[in-house]
Chains A and B, each alone.
Chain A
């Protein structure tokens, strides 16, 4: 059912057909133990569009993002409802192997997590090794991925040094490079710039611009300017006290920031709470 819908929409919107996958969250709810933290989230993350998820701390943005590439289920007490469709296939069904789901939907975590004992170069190549693929040109892929992540100039002379010796911000950019090297269809980024200086942040934003026609990008950010700069679609999450997080409002980014319909959205994007 949804495949036709998706195709129809893609034909309608895309003048130059953007590559990348279309991801749809349908009625997504999530629990940790008996505590419900997300309720009925419906978001379309279309190819060629950068989707920003914004909202105050603890409203379930990371949880939603982790549901999108099956990271959520790694928490022992975590459960979920609803479905997530990648180009029409339910990623929680048997249509796609779980490793394939995660390879096609890459993730950059809130906290940098390179493999510290591995060299910088091996970190970039780790995804290919993990998915059992060979790179035709290792050096070229390493350079390209590191350049896109804005890290190349800093590490070009120490690709064989262990990644554990990088600074926090450099590690985060290495993780971005690592995710890009497997050429995912969708890239989920959970506050990728929260540990970065303005220059590296700028570089990552440029990368997002460059990538957005090849990879579908979903980014969680606490920085309202960043959300406006990089995204075209924006969803505002909010969790009232002792209630699960919900999407209060979503739509075109300029609309969310320019003329939001819900007063809570207006308050949040204008920095009046959260």
Chain B
């Protein structure tokens, strides 16, 4: 290994953390079509914890995960995973981690068992050891009965479980899961949550990305919120929630003038229906106070409804603007 880099001298604990990244940057495209997808990301994940990277579609979650798993190179910044540098010690990192991506990573025309045995053989196990490992994993993920069926015939939930199992043949220390429950029905989602909890209870470090606040809330010890390539918040679920009001007051206003006046306060706006959504905690006292505050003359607000906050509202509270659904800005 090369002599100590300044960063390691400054922070000896970086070596013992499961993941530690400083200033990760990544851009895609060329010339004036170049887009900055990650704009200086710092991440720290302690061993044995569940960490969630929460963000809307296009935030840069997959890009971040692929860099940490050595499948993509960052343009700037450094990262250590399981104690190894993702750039200079790629091989060691790959041995220590597994990545289960957003897209199916098993062959549809192989059975579950064949897929797992193949992965185990590639992990360096002998034929008999690979067979045992495949049987163990099928058992653990409740797939023994389906083990001899082509995975093309599996349900979405079974496929995800097999994907996950395929990532575990090498007994990784750090497990990356990229949107593991996107597209799953509620029951399969629950099953996957159970699997993640089991992995964590078994001592693995889990790094998962998600678009769902609830999922991060249910599973993660710590959550980082990624938006447009920047981290906009980091903390425990409780800490994040305390920064978000939790509910949204939708008011229908009387005219365009009132709409213009109140629009800057709103999380959600609909000019057609003259409706504005304002963050609140949902209690009667606060709702009343908010109504008085925005409409002291009692003539601008025509009607109102109260909703529980969505991910959009959380983003509004954390970023001061509506969730970006468009592509990130050009740089």
Are A and B genuine complex partners? no
